[in-house]
Structure 1
Amino acid sequence: MSIKTVAHINFRGEARPALSFYQSVFGGDLVLLTHAQIYGTTDPAEADLVGWGRVVSNEGFAVMAYDAPASRAYDPGQSPFFMSVSGNDGDEITAYWDKLKVGGEVLQDLAPAGWSPLYGMLKDRFGITWVLDVQSSDAG
Protein backbone atom coordinates (compact mmCIF):
# COMPACT_ATOMS: atom_id res chain seq x y z
CA MET A 1 0.00 0.00 0.00
CA SER A 2 1.17 3.54 -0.68
CA ILE A 3 -0.22 6.97 0.09
CA LYS A 4 0.32 10.52 -1.17
CA THR A 5 0.10 13.70 0.83
CA VAL A 6 -1.12 16.85 -0.90
CA ALA A 7 -1.44 20.29 0.66
CA HIS A 8 -4.97 21.71 0.61
CA ILE A 9 -4.98 25.50 0.95
CA ASN A 10 -8.04 27.37 2.19
CA PHE A 11 -8.79 30.80 0.76
CA ARG A 12 -11.58 33.34 0.97
CA GLY A 13 -12.40 34.20 -2.63
CA GLU A 14 -8.86 33.78 -4.03
CA ALA A 15 -8.67 30.04 -4.74
CA ARG A 16 -9.32 30.39 -8.50
CA PRO A 17 -6.61 33.01 -9.17
CA ALA A 18 -4.20 31.26 -6.79
CA LEU A 19 -4.61 27.84 -8.46
CA SER A 20 -4.32 29.45 -11.91
CA PHE A 21 -1.13 31.16 -10.77
CA TYR A 22 0.32 27.91 -9.40
CA GLN A 23 -0.51 26.20 -12.70
CA SER A 24 1.36 28.99 -14.53
CA VAL A 25 4.39 28.38 -12.29
CA PHE A 26 4.49 24.57 -12.19
CA GLY A 27 2.46 23.58 -15.27
CA GLY A 28 0.09 20.65 -15.14
CA ASP A 29 -3.64 20.25 -15.19
CA LEU A 30 -6.07 22.51 -13.36
CA VAL A 31 -9.46 21.22 -12.25
CA LEU A 32 -12.03 23.53 -10.62
CA LEU A 33 -15.50 22.80 -9.28
CA THR A 34 -17.65 25.62 -7.93
CA HIS A 35 -19.69 25.82 -4.76
CA ALA A 36 -22.80 25.61 -6.97
CA GLN A 37 -21.55 22.39 -8.59
CA ILE A 38 -20.53 20.68 -5.35
CA TYR A 39 -22.79 22.08 -2.66
CA GLY A 40 -25.75 23.33 -4.72
CA THR A 41 -25.06 26.90 -3.56
CA THR A 42 -27.49 29.37 -5.11
CA ASP A 43 -26.29 32.57 -3.39
CA PRO A 44 -24.81 34.61 -6.29
CA ALA A 45 -22.04 35.89 -3.97
CA GLU A 46 -20.75 32.34 -3.42
CA ALA A 47 -22.04 30.13 -6.26
CA ASP A 48 -18.95 30.63 -8.45
CA LEU A 49 -16.41 30.33 -5.64
CA VAL A 50 -14.13 27.30 -5.79
CA GLY A 51 -15.64 24.39 -3.85
CA TRP A 52 -12.71 22.17 -4.78
CA GLY A 53 -9.72 22.74 -7.03
CA ARG A 54 -6.48 21.00 -7.85
CA VAL A 55 -3.30 21.45 -9.90
CA VAL A 56 -1.23 18.35 -10.69
CA SER A 57 1.86 18.35 -12.92
CA ASN A 58 3.71 15.49 -14.59
CA GLU A 59 6.80 16.49 -12.59
CA GLY A 60 5.10 15.58 -9.31
CA PHE A 61 3.76 18.94 -8.11
CA ALA A 62 0.26 18.81 -6.62
CA VAL A 63 -1.83 21.23 -4.58
CA MET A 64 -5.53 21.49 -3.76
CA ALA A 65 -7.54 24.51 -2.64
CA TYR A 66 -11.00 25.87 -2.02
CA ASP A 67 -12.77 29.05 -0.98
CA ALA A 68 -14.19 28.88 2.53
CA PRO A 69 -17.81 30.06 2.47
CA ALA A 70 -18.90 33.05 4.56
CA SER A 71 -20.63 30.68 7.00
CA ARG A 72 -17.29 29.08 7.90
CA ALA A 73 -14.72 30.83 10.06
CA TYR A 74 -11.59 31.74 8.13
CA ASP A 75 -8.35 33.13 9.50
CA PRO A 76 -5.18 32.52 7.50
CA GLY A 77 -3.07 33.26 10.59
CA GLN A 78 0.61 34.05 10.61
CA SER A 79 2.53 31.41 8.64
CA PRO A 80 0.26 28.49 9.61
CA PHE A 81 2.12 26.30 7.10
CA PHE A 82 4.77 26.42 4.37
CA MET A 83 4.58 24.91 0.91
CA SER A 84 7.87 23.13 0.24
CA VAL A 85 9.21 22.37 -3.24
CA SER A 86 12.43 20.36 -3.45
CA GLY A 87 14.23 19.09 -6.49
CA ASN A 88 17.66 18.14 -7.73
CA ASP A 89 17.94 20.63 -10.61
CA GLY A 90 18.99 24.15 -9.63
CA ASP A 91 17.79 25.66 -12.90
CA GLU A 92 14.33 24.16 -12.45
CA ILE A 93 14.04 25.35 -8.84
CA THR A 94 15.26 28.83 -9.88
CA ALA A 95 12.64 28.99 -12.64
CA TYR A 96 9.86 28.19 -10.14
CA TRP A 97 11.33 30.73 -7.71
CA ASP A 98 11.40 33.49 -10.32
CA LYS A 99 7.72 32.93 -11.13
CA LEU A 100 6.49 32.56 -7.55
CA LYS A 101 8.18 35.75 -6.34
CA VAL A 102 6.36 37.99 -8.83
CA GLY A 103 4.14 40.26 -6.76
CA GLY A 104 5.31 38.57 -3.57
CA GLU A 105 7.91 39.16 -0.88
CA VAL A 106 11.28 37.41 -0.64
CA LEU A 107 11.84 36.33 2.97
CA GLN A 108 15.22 34.68 2.33
CA ASP A 109 17.04 34.95 -0.99
CA LEU A 110 17.46 31.82 -3.07
CA ALA A 111 21.13 31.07 -2.42
CA PRO A 112 23.48 28.34 -1.20
CA ALA A 113 22.90 27.27 2.40
CA GLY A 114 24.82 24.95 4.72
CA TRP A 115 22.40 22.08 4.00
CA SER A 116 21.51 22.79 0.38
CA PRO A 117 23.12 24.02 -2.84
CA LEU A 118 20.11 26.41 -3.15
CA TYR A 119 17.54 27.37 -0.54
CA GLY A 120 15.09 30.26 -0.33
CA MET A 121 11.81 31.34 1.23
CA LEU A 122 9.19 33.73 -0.10
CA LYS A 123 5.60 34.77 0.46
CA ASP A 124 3.64 34.78 -2.80
CA ARG A 125 1.10 37.40 -3.79
CA PHE A 126 -1.65 35.34 -2.11
CA GLY A 127 0.14 35.34 1.26
CA ILE A 128 1.32 31.70 1.02
CA THR A 129 4.87 31.04 2.25
CA TRP A 130 6.97 28.83 -0.05
CA VAL A 131 10.29 27.14 0.73
CA LEU A 132 12.24 26.05 -2.35
CA ASP A 133 15.46 24.08 -2.27
CA VAL A 134 17.78 21.85 -4.20
CA GLN A 135 18.34 18.57 -2.44
CA SER A 136 21.91 17.99 -1.32
CA SER A 137 23.55 14.81 -2.58
CA ASP A 138 24.46 14.03 1.07
CA ALA A 139 20.89 14.49 2.33
CA GLY A 140 20.20 10.83 2.94
Structure 2
Amino acid sequence: MTILNPYLSFRDNAREAMEFYQQALGGDLQVMTFGDMPGMVEDEAENALVMHSMLTTPDGLVLMGSDTPAHMEYQAPQGVSVSLSGSGSDESSLRGVWDKLADGATITMPFGPAPWGDQFGMLVDRFGVSWMFSAGDSQA
Protein backbone atom coordinates (compact mmCIF):
# COMPACT_ATOMS: atom_id res chain seq x y z
CA MET A 1 0.00 0.00 0.00
CA THR A 2 1.30 3.46 -0.90
CA ILE A 3 0.48 6.40 1.34
CA LEU A 4 0.69 9.91 -0.03
CA ASN A 5 1.42 12.72 2.42
CA PRO A 6 1.54 16.44 1.64
CA TYR A 7 5.02 17.96 2.01
CA LEU A 8 5.11 21.75 2.11
CA SER A 9 8.15 23.88 1.31
CA PHE A 10 8.77 27.27 2.89
CA ARG A 11 11.57 29.84 2.65
CA ASP A 12 12.10 30.82 6.30
CA ASN A 13 8.87 30.23 8.19
CA ALA A 14 8.29 26.46 8.26
CA ARG A 15 8.31 26.31 12.07
CA GLU A 16 5.73 29.11 12.33
CA ALA A 17 3.55 27.45 9.68
CA MET A 18 3.75 23.96 11.15
CA GLU A 19 2.99 25.24 14.67
CA PHE A 20 0.01 27.10 13.21
CA TYR A 21 -1.22 23.88 11.56
CA GLN A 22 -0.73 21.99 14.82
CA GLN A 23 -2.86 24.58 16.62
CA ALA A 24 -5.56 24.29 13.94
CA LEU A 25 -5.50 20.52 13.41
CA GLY A 26 -4.17 19.19 16.72
CA GLY A 27 -1.72 16.34 16.94
CA ASP A 28 1.95 15.69 17.53
CA LEU A 29 4.57 17.88 15.83
CA GLN A 30 8.13 16.65 15.38
CA VAL A 31 10.73 19.21 14.21
CA MET A 32 14.35 18.66 13.15
CA THR A 33 16.49 21.71 12.37
CA PHE A 34 19.47 22.00 10.05
CA GLY A 35 21.55 22.51 13.19
CA ASP A 36 20.53 19.01 14.32
CA MET A 37 22.38 17.67 11.25
CA PRO A 38 25.68 19.58 10.99
CA GLY A 39 26.94 20.41 7.51
CA MET A 40 23.51 20.59 5.89
CA VAL A 41 23.60 24.37 5.30
CA GLU A 42 26.34 26.65 4.01
CA ASP A 43 25.42 29.53 6.35
CA GLU A 44 25.41 28.70 10.07
CA ALA A 45 22.78 31.43 10.56
CA GLU A 46 20.34 28.95 8.96
CA ASN A 47 20.94 26.23 11.58
CA ALA A 48 17.65 27.13 13.33
CA LEU A 49 15.63 26.61 10.13
CA VAL A 50 13.52 23.47 9.78
CA MET A 51 15.16 20.65 7.87
CA HIS A 52 12.15 18.36 8.34
CA SER A 53 8.94 18.52 10.31
CA MET A 54 6.03 16.14 10.60
CA LEU A 55 2.61 16.80 12.09
CA THR A 56 0.54 13.68 12.80
CA THR A 57 -3.05 14.62 13.60
CA PRO A 58 -5.56 12.65 15.68
CA ASP A 59 -7.51 11.98 12.45
CA GLY A 60 -4.48 10.35 10.80
CA LEU A 61 -3.31 13.19 8.54
CA VAL A 62 0.47 13.36 8.22
CA LEU A 63 1.53 16.83 7.08
CA MET A 64 5.23 17.45 6.53
CA GLY A 65 7.22 20.58 5.78
CA SER A 66 10.64 22.20 5.71
CA ASP A 67 12.48 25.42 5.01
CA THR A 68 14.49 25.81 1.82
CA PRO A 69 17.98 27.08 2.69
CA ALA A 70 19.39 30.05 0.76
CA HIS A 71 21.84 27.93 -1.25
CA MET A 72 18.90 26.00 -2.76
CA GLU A 73 16.44 27.46 -5.23
CA TYR A 74 13.02 28.09 -3.78
CA GLN A 75 10.20 28.51 -6.22
CA ALA A 76 6.65 29.22 -5.19
CA PRO A 77 4.14 26.79 -6.73
CA GLN A 78 3.31 27.61 -10.34
CA GLY A 79 1.22 26.05 -13.04
CA VAL A 80 -0.55 23.19 -11.33
CA SER A 81 -2.55 24.28 -8.31
CA VAL A 82 -2.83 21.94 -5.34
CA SER A 83 -5.18 22.31 -2.37
CA LEU A 84 -5.28 20.39 0.88
CA SER A 85 -8.77 19.07 1.40
CA GLY A 86 -10.65 18.37 4.61
CA SER A 87 -13.91 16.46 4.46
CA GLY A 88 -16.25 14.43 6.60
CA SER A 89 -19.68 14.28 8.15
CA ASP A 90 -18.73 16.11 11.38
CA GLU A 91 -19.50 19.69 10.36
CA SER A 92 -18.68 21.25 13.74
CA SER A 93 -15.21 19.67 13.76
CA LEU A 94 -14.47 20.83 10.21
CA ARG A 95 -15.82 24.29 10.94
CA GLY A 96 -13.52 24.49 13.97
CA VAL A 97 -10.48 23.75 11.79
CA TRP A 98 -11.77 26.18 9.14
CA ASP A 99 -12.13 28.95 11.72
CA LYS A 100 -8.55 28.47 12.93
CA LEU A 101 -7.03 28.33 9.43
CA ALA A 102 -9.10 31.38 8.39
CA ASP A 103 -7.10 33.58 10.79
CA GLY A 104 -5.09 35.77 8.40
CA ALA A 105 -6.33 33.84 5.36
CA THR A 106 -7.85 34.97 2.09
CA ILE A 107 -11.31 33.43 1.91
CA THR A 108 -11.88 32.24 -1.66
CA MET A 109 -15.36 30.87 -0.92
CA PRO A 110 -16.99 31.27 2.50
CA PHE A 111 -17.77 28.05 4.35
CA GLY A 112 -21.49 27.64 3.82
CA PRO A 113 -24.24 25.80 1.95
CA ALA A 114 -23.15 24.24 -1.34
CA PRO A 115 -25.44 23.47 -4.31
CA TRP A 116 -25.10 19.74 -3.62
CA GLY A 117 -26.41 20.16 -0.06
CA ASP A 118 -23.22 19.95 1.99
CA GLN A 119 -21.26 22.78 3.61
CA PHE A 120 -18.26 23.83 1.52
CA GLY A 121 -15.58 26.51 1.61
CA MET A 122 -12.17 27.39 0.22
CA LEU A 123 -9.36 29.57 1.58
CA VAL A 124 -5.70 30.37 1.11
CA ASP A 125 -4.07 30.47 4.54
CA ARG A 126 -1.60 33.09 5.73
CA PHE A 127 1.28 30.92 4.44
CA GLY A 128 -0.13 30.71 0.90
CA VAL A 129 -1.43 27.14 1.19
CA SER A 130 -4.83 26.48 -0.43
CA TRP A 131 -7.46 24.52 1.51
CA MET A 132 -10.93 23.18 0.67
CA PHE A 133 -13.43 21.93 3.25
CA SER A 134 -16.57 19.92 2.65
CA ALA A 135 -18.87 18.70 5.43
CA GLY A 136 -22.11 16.80 5.11
CA ASP A 137 -23.90 13.55 4.47
CA SER A 138 -22.24 12.93 1.10
CA GLN A 139 -18.86 12.92 2.92
CA ALA A 140 -19.71 10.04 5.28
Assess same fold via TM > 0.5. Answer: yes
Counterpart CA distance in 2 for 1:135 and 1:52 is 34
Q: Equivalent residues in 2 for 1:90-129 (5 A)?
A: 90-115=91-116, 117-129=118-130
Q: Which runs of 5+ in 1 are unaligned?
A: none
Sequence identity (%) = 34
Secondary structure at the aligned position of 2:46 is classed as coil
Counterpart CA distance in 2 for 1:116 and 1:48 is 47
Residue 29 of structure 2 aligns with which residue?
A: 30
What are the Cα deviations for residues 87-115 of structure 1, in whole angstroms up to 9, with x where unaligned?
A: 21110110000000001110101112134
Q: Equivalent residues in 2 for 1:11-50 (5 A)?
A: 11-38=10-37, 40-41=39-40, 43-50=43-50
For these two proteins, the number of residue pairs brought into alignment is 138
Structure 1 residue ranges (4+ consecutive) displaced by more than 3 angstroms after TM superposition: 77-80
Contact 1:116–1:134 (CA<8 Å) still a contact in 2? no
Partner AA of 1:76 in structure 2: A
Counterpart CA distance in 1 for 2:69 and 2:117 is 40
Quote the RMSD (CA, aligned, Å). Answer: 1.9
Partner AA of 2:46 in structure 1: E
Q: Which runs of 5+ in 2 are unaligned?
A: none
Distance 1:39 1:3, change over 3 A: farther
Counterpart CA distance in 1 for 2:30 and 2:76 is 23
Contact 1:115–1:136 (CA<8 Å) still a contact in 2? no
Partner AA of 1:34 in structure 2: T
Alpha-carbon offset, residue 135 of structure 1: 4.9
Alpha-carbon offset, residue 116 of structure 1: 5.2
Secondary structure at the aligned position of 1:5 is classed as coil
Counterpart CA distance in 2 for 1:133 and 1:39 is 43
Contact 1:26–1:61 (CA<8 Å) still a contact in 2? no
Partner AA of 2:28 in structure 1: D
